[in-house]
Amino acid sequence: MVQWKGVYYICFVDGTGHGTEDSQIRVCASTDLVNWTSQIAIGRKTIDPNLLLVGDKLLLYGVKESTGDSDFGFPSQQVVTWTMDGTTWAPPKRCFLRDHDFWHPIEFDGRYYVACDTVGHAPLGIHNSVDLLTSADGERWEWVTEIVHGSNEPMYYDTTGIHFGTPTPSETSLCFFDDGRLLAVTRARGHCALLSTSEPPYDQWERYLSRESRCYGSAIARVGEGVIVTGRSFANEGVRSTENRFNDKFSDHDQTQLRTGVFLYEDGDIRLHTVLPSGGDTGYGGILPISDNQVLIAYYSSHEYAPGDKHGSNVYLASVSLT
């Protein structure tokens, strides 16, 4: 979610299911957060949209299914399009290597950064990695470093001495601090979220496994002096018990304790702040700070639909205070 030229924008996949052939990228726009217009900005088959402000352009990224054969999963190319007026979008073009999918690009100190991963396009384990990329214009990207490498066996020690590995590290959001230190929040299969930190030039990483949440599909943002994180979460995923925060049901169809959680990054870990009205298939939010204490979060959830092969989902907008 972004605000650009006085207009709020959100983007999401419009399709009948996860990665279905009719998946395309829809962008919604509003000046008042009440009345929205929408349009398809990237056609089928495209998933994983992200927005980025670059100069006088609004860039939109997507993972588009590529042509040709693949030895594993589906072949993809990371594409980018842009608009100068919020209405007319340029034809999408490829902007990085095949089978490397972007997750939440951001700006820091005049440059642009994104984490990419190969999950879904390579066998489990050592063929997967999360890499840090940088760009001067958001359209041409170059490699900086590897954040975490996939493994079927333990290969890292976190800062508390836990020996671990994850076969499919993916969906890594980034947050820079004023001194240039970088925090990366990674979906780490088999564990709670992996929190990695590094200082320039980002070639050495300290890693810590969250004690609280898996935080799948994370988004992260600086808000005043704090850091807020959102992601898909279950009750009691980690060492710290959170069950009582997940018990409220948000509809008659809600049969799970799966929620979109909102977390604060404190003392090197993420700690549950609140849960948003959600359930079932949910999460994958975008965060827009609107003050030093408040954010808007756009996310999706299926909790208002009865379970089934063809159940739907809705996109929601929440206002969240940090206090």
Q: The domain containing residue 291 runs over which residues?
A: 210-323
The residue from 191, 209, 227 where one domain ends is 209
Shared domain check, 113 and 79: no
Shared domain check, 216 and 182: no
Shared domain check, 273 and 227: yes
Q: Which two tokens stand for residue 133?
A: 């990329």
Q: Which two tokens stand for residue 106?
A: 């951001």
Shared domain check, 137 and 77: no
Under the banding of pLDDT at 50, 70 and 90, the label for residue 221 is very high
Q: Which two tokens stand for residue 221?
A: 């943002």
Identify whether the C-beta of residue 231 lies closer than 8 Å to the C-beta of residue 213: yes
Shared domain check, 252 and 202: no
Under the banding of pLDDT at 50, 70 and 90, the label for residue 152 is very high
Q: pLDDT value at position 249?
A: 82
- Which residue from 235, 265, 249, 266 is spatially nearest to 303, judged by alpha carbons? 249
**What pTM was estimated for this model as a whole?**
0.96
Neighbouring CB atoms inside 10 A of 31's CB total 13
- In DSSP notation, 125-168 reads STT-EEEEEEESSSSS-EEEEEEEE--SS--EE-TT--EE--S-
Shared domain check, 138 and 81: no
Q: pLDDT value at position 19?
A: 80
Strand partners, 160: none
Q: pLDDT value at position 235?
A: 81
CA distances from 205 to 37, 147, 240 (A): 43, 7, 25
Q: pLDDT value at position 309?
A: 63
The residue from 87, 114, 143 where one domain ends is 87
Shared domain check, 78 and 133: no
Domain count, the chain: 3
Q: What gap in Å lies between CA 97 and CA 91, rounded to an integer?
A: 18
The residue from 182, 209, 236 where one domain ends is 209
pLDDT at 151 over 70: yes
| 12-60 per-position pLDDT tens digit | 999 988 788 999 999 999 999 999 999 999 999 999 999 999 999 999 9
Shared domain check, 243 and 232: yes
Shared domain check, 106 and 9: no
Q: Domain containing 204 — which CATH number?
A: 2.115.10.20
pLDDT at 307 over 90: no
Mean pLDDT of the chain: 95
Shared domain check, 306 and 320: yes
Q: pLDDT value at position 67?
A: 77
Average pLDDT over residues 127-138: 98
Q: What gap in Å lies between CA 275 and CA 265, rounded to an integer?
A: 15
Q: What gap in Å lies between CA 98 and CA 94, rounded to an integer?
A: 9
Q: What gap in Å lies between CA 147 and CA 132, rounded to an integer?
A: 7
Could you tell me which residues come within 8 angstroms of residue 58 by beta carbon, excluding any fewer than 6 positions away? 2, 4, 9, 51, 52, 82, 83, 86
Shared domain check, 55 and 41: yes
pLDDT at 11 over 80: yes
Shared domain check, 40 and 82: yes
